[in-house]
Amino acid sequence: MRSLPSEKSFQLLDCCARLESFTAAADELGITQSAVSQQVRALEESMEVRFFDRIGRRVVLSEAGRRVLKAASEGFGQIRQAILDETESHRANSLSIAVLPGFFVRWLLPRLIQFRARHPEIKLEIKTVSETSDFRKLQTHAAIQYGVFPDQNPLFREAFTPVASPAFAAEHGLALSSSAKEASDREVMQRILKLPLLGESMDSLVGTGKASAPDLWHHWARAYDLPLGQADIQHFSQSNITLQLAELGQGIALGRCSLIQDAFRKGELVPLIKQKQPSPYSYYLTRNPHMKVPPFFETFSLWLEEAVQEISGSN
């Protein structure tokens, strides 16, 4: 059985039939008239079908050509519709969310098994990104954003506190204990500022005030009226990196409560003071204004609101 021509070949035939001219078809397709003639001749020979009748300078579809083009149009149309239906069916059962790597790895990922067990009918697609401000680039239904949105309710009230590995804390006499001789929080804070500090850039922030967003260490020091002075602060692009380095004993990080609670439970990080400083920034679940959000979004939103209660309870 001889193979069928491509859809592009049938599009060339349709163009010639519509314009009744190889020359006009060549102009529309951006190729030469001789190329059009050669392709038509090759198709007629390979399929053993005469597609056109030559009437003067015009080319008119033959009866056989009309039947073949009608069948090709219907056939390719059915294929396109089947693909579209399948795509829409897939999308109808899927929900895509953009998330910053730190929040995904340290909080969301370990809890997704709960969501998938409860809602197996939803195909949840998570896209980790370095910034979530431009939905046109993200191409996801929604994003969990980190920043300040005065007109939106945050998922929870974030707070942060200095953390380090148990070994680093013990080495520098910073481990919290129940001893009556334990140093006051303020004494510990002053000692912290003399040690290597691990900071993060504010590039991932979205919302108002991003341009003037203070480094969290400066925000923390200012909140407790501490002189930051010439403190040794190394900055990294992601919160997850600072916490990983802290776990490796490379210094002290300011850990967001949402990102450190699992590390506390595993004994990978320890708090260095009792106090937690409310963060000026929060996490928000934001819809993509450029895409139609599927009904499953509400299901995910309700689950997320329920799941983050554990963070609110730990702040």
Summarised one tens digit per residue, pLDDT across range 76-127 is 878 776 765 565 555 667 899 999 999 999 999 999 999 999 999 899 999 9
Confidence bin at 196 (pLDDT 50/70/90): very high
- 37, two tokens: 């003639």
pTM score = 0.68
Fold that domain 7-90 belongs to in CATH: Arc Repressor Mutant, subunit A (1.10.10)
User: How far apart are the C-alpha atoms of 119 and 263, rounded to whole Å?
Assistant: 27
User: How far apart are the C-alpha atoms of 235 and 175, rounded to whole Å?
Assistant: 24
Task: Please write the tens of the pLDDT for every residue from 29-47.
Answer: 888 889 888 988 988 888 8
What is residue 197's predicted lDDT score, i.e. its pLDDT?
Answer: 95
Q: Is residue 63 pLDDT above 50, yes or no?
A: yes
Chain-centroid distance of CA 289 in Å reads 15
Element (DSSP H or E) covering residue 72: helix 63-92
Q: Is residue 177 pLDDT above 80, yes or no?
A: no
Task: Please write the tens of the pLDDT for every residue from 263-291.
Answer: 999 999 999 998 899 998 899 999 998 88
What is residue 294's predicted lDDT score, i.e. its pLDDT?
Answer: 87
Can you tell me the mean pLDDT for 307-311? 89
What is residue 162's predicted lDDT score, i.e. its pLDDT?
Answer: 96
Q: For the domain 91-155+283-314, what is the CATH code?
A: 3.40.190.10
What is residue 181's predicted lDDT score, i.e. its pLDDT?
Answer: 43
Q: Is residue 60 pLDDT above 70, yes or no?
A: yes
Higher per-residue confidence, 262 vs 133: 262
- 286, two tokens: 């934001």
Can you tell me the mean pLDDT for 150-160? 90
What is residue 230's predicted lDDT score, i.e. its pLDDT?
Answer: 66
Mean pLDDT of the chain: 85
Can you tell me the mean pLDDT for 204-211? 60
Q: Is residue 74 pLDDT above 70, yes or no?
A: yes
Q: Residue 206 forms beta bridges with which residues?
A: 147
What is residue 207's predicted lDDT score, i.e. its pLDDT?
Answer: 63
Q: What is the DSSP letter of 51?
A: -
Task: Please write the tens of the pLDDT for every residue from 8-28.
Answer: 888 888 888 888 998 888 888
Residues contacting 195, CB < 8 A, separation 6+: 172, 232, 251, 252
C-beta separation of 269 from 260 below 8 A: yes
Can you tell me the mean pLDDT for 162-166? 96
What is residue 214's predicted lDDT score, i.e. its pLDDT?
Answer: 64
Q: What residue spans define the domains of the chain? A: 7-90, 91-155+283-314, 159-280
What is residue 284's predicted lDDT score, i.e. its pLDDT?
Answer: 94
What is residue 287's predicted lDDT score, i.e. its pLDDT?
Answer: 93
- Same CATH fold, 159-280 and 91-155+283-314? yes
Superfamily of domain 159-280: Periplasmic binding protein-like II (3.40.190.10)
User: How far apart are the C-alpha atoms of 2 and 43, rounded to whole Å?
Assistant: 12
Q: Is residue 178 pLDDT above 50, yes or no?
A: no
- 99, two tokens: 């998330």
C-beta separation of 268 from 259 below 8 A: no
Higher per-residue confidence, 83 vs 166: 166
What is residue 92's predicted lDDT score, i.e. its pLDDT?
Answer: 62
Q: Is residue 304 pLDDT above 80, yes or no?
A: yes
